[in-house]
Amino acid sequence: METIDQVVPQPLSAWDQADFALGNGIGRVLLYGQPGTGKTYYAMNYKLNGKPAYRLVCTEEMTDADLIGMWRPTNVNGERGLTFVEGVAIQAWRTGGRLVVDEINRVNGDIESRLMSLIDTYASSSWQHPETGEVITPHPDFSVVATMNGEPDDLGRAIQDRLVVQLEINEPHPDGIAALPQYLQDMALSFGSRTGKDRYSLRNFVEFHAIYTKTDNIHHSAQVCLPRIAEQLIDTVMLAKVEA
């Protein structure tokens, strides 16, 4: 058995820490930090263990219907009635999927207590179906990944307490960088990891690549998508063409 003295600590990036936590059964994670780094995409696609992901976008206008579900009219063979359609949180509970709570800092006060009960531990959570009376509890594989562009202190203490792993994401996901052409990768990583006015989101580089590929107009593509670094970008592209 490996002892503490034998372990050589290897620092993990925030993305690697997320992989480690979610891949080993820690199902309550908060990803926060700069926008455009791939937090939501990661939450929707990584370490799902074959389970589906359900996205909940928080707004000030959201209601119980977004989380739990709502009654909807039905018309079966001319007979009108009502049936209860489950919301994304209950669907994630049932399937053992992942509830991705996007922009969790925007949840309104009326829904905050409901959200807390939905992302709580398995032993503390249950819900009774209003139509069938079925008592539903979270599947053992159920997980929650919340995302936000602010700081954890923007959240209420009770929500923070439920999101055990809190990771600051301030650089683009490696797979997002790797999906770009090689000549763009270093620049996208550099500018995508900055703060303030010097920063450009990974999305800007993705859109630049798309429009440049479509039009073959480097000058217009750079001016539209990455205007503050257009000259530097054009030089980088031209150099890559020469070296090719």
How high is the pLDDT of residue 111?
A: 87
pLDDT band, residue 181 (cuts 50/70/90): very high
The arithmetic mean of pLDDT across residues 39-48, rounded, is 96
Contact indicator for 234, 219 with CB cutoff of 8 Å: yes
Largest CA distance in the chain: 74
Domain residues of the chain, as ranges?
Answer: 11-169, 174-243
Contact indicator for 165, 114 with CB cutoff of 8 Å: no
Q: Which residues, in sequence order, are bridge partners of residue 28?
A: 144
pLDDT band, residue 3 (cuts 50/70/90): low
pTM of the model: 0.88
Does residue 159 surpass a pLDDT of 70? yes
Does residue 8 surpass a pLDDT of 70? no
Per-residue pLDDT reduced to its tens digit, 55-105: 999 998 999 899 999 999 988 888 889 999 999 999 999 999 999 999 999
State which fold the 11-169 domain adopts: Rossmann fold (3.40.50)
